[in-house]
A and B are shown apart, each in its own frame.
Chain A
Amino acid sequence: MGGVGNVPAARHLLRAKDLADARYFERLTVADLAAAAGLSPAHFSRRFKAAFGESPHQYLLTRRLERAAALLRDTDWTVADICFAVGAESVGSFTVSFRRVFGAAPLAYRAAYPPAEQHLRIPRCVAMAYGRPKNRTFREDRPGPPS
């Protein structure tokens, strides 16, 4: 019937994921996420990727893009306002990333969606879980600019 020792280590990694989900709009670093999991940054990134199949950085980026997509669907905010509201720092690279993962530029994405009344009935946690895009080789993941 199990003691506390039965709690898998992944439970701590989930705290980092929850932090990214709650505070994606801030300037979160991998060190912040590692601290939430109680691990050193280098160790943390490896463990996170092993548990969830993507790096903490990729998770945070796709969370921001998912929230941006939600704001495009649900509001009439400008692309620049949405970019900054989700914690992205440059409209240019935000737009490039958005197009890469959603296959359409932000305004084209917005235009393709039905009226908000229909999908806004889905609980937000469900939208966040299922609406987060799959990563498609982020330029931002590489240590330096591609040569």
Chain B
Amino acid sequence: MVKIGNAQFWVHDQDEALAFYTKKLGWEVRSDVTMEAWSFRWLCVGPPGGDGVGLVLMPVPGPPLLDADSSGQLSDLVAKGAGGTLFLETDDCQATYDELSARGISFNDPPTRQAYGIDTSFRDPSGNNIRLTQVLEFDPARS
């Protein structure tokens, strides 16, 4: 059997990302290991109490892993929202929206009814897109 262990976002600043995912989103740190010799920090977070898929907050690398131009381009692409999307699921979109709004998360749109459920979205400080969906029985009439 194969399962997804961790997924990964590029981030501009790991401290800033860590504060966002733990303090605002309320997630737990799954792993935080710094390899001084590599100037590298392995940082993985996830929803509390879960042993499910974790999210690795990976710093945009510079030389020698990526040349300076490519590193700058990758950094820009993430800032432009081209870094990708994390699709989260909740059992109550409105309740989660209210709770996270109170914690300082700024949503792009209010919970909206869709054929597949109810969802909303926000971004992390680097620009990565996070979708929050309450999955409901498929109903084209709901959208």
Contacts and interface: CB of A to CB of B under 8 A. Distances in A.
Nearest to A117: B140
Given A1-B59, A7-B13, A10-B76, A74 B108 contact: no
Report the contact-size class of chain B (Cβ under 8 Å from the partner).
35 or more
A124 B39 contact: no
Binding site secondary structure of chain B:
mixed
Given A18-B123, A22-B109, A123 B81 contact: no
B116 A121 contact: yes
Contact of B127 (A6, A14, A116, A117): A14
Contact of A123 (B78, B108, B126, B133): B133
A61 B85 CA distance: 24
List 4 tightest A-B contacts by C-beta distance, closest first. A120-B115, A8-B79, A11-B79, A10-B79
Interface of B: 12-14, 16, 39-41, 59-60, 72, 75-76, 78-81, 85, 87, 108-109, 112, 114-116, 119, 121, 123, 125-127, 129, 131, 133, 138, 140, 143
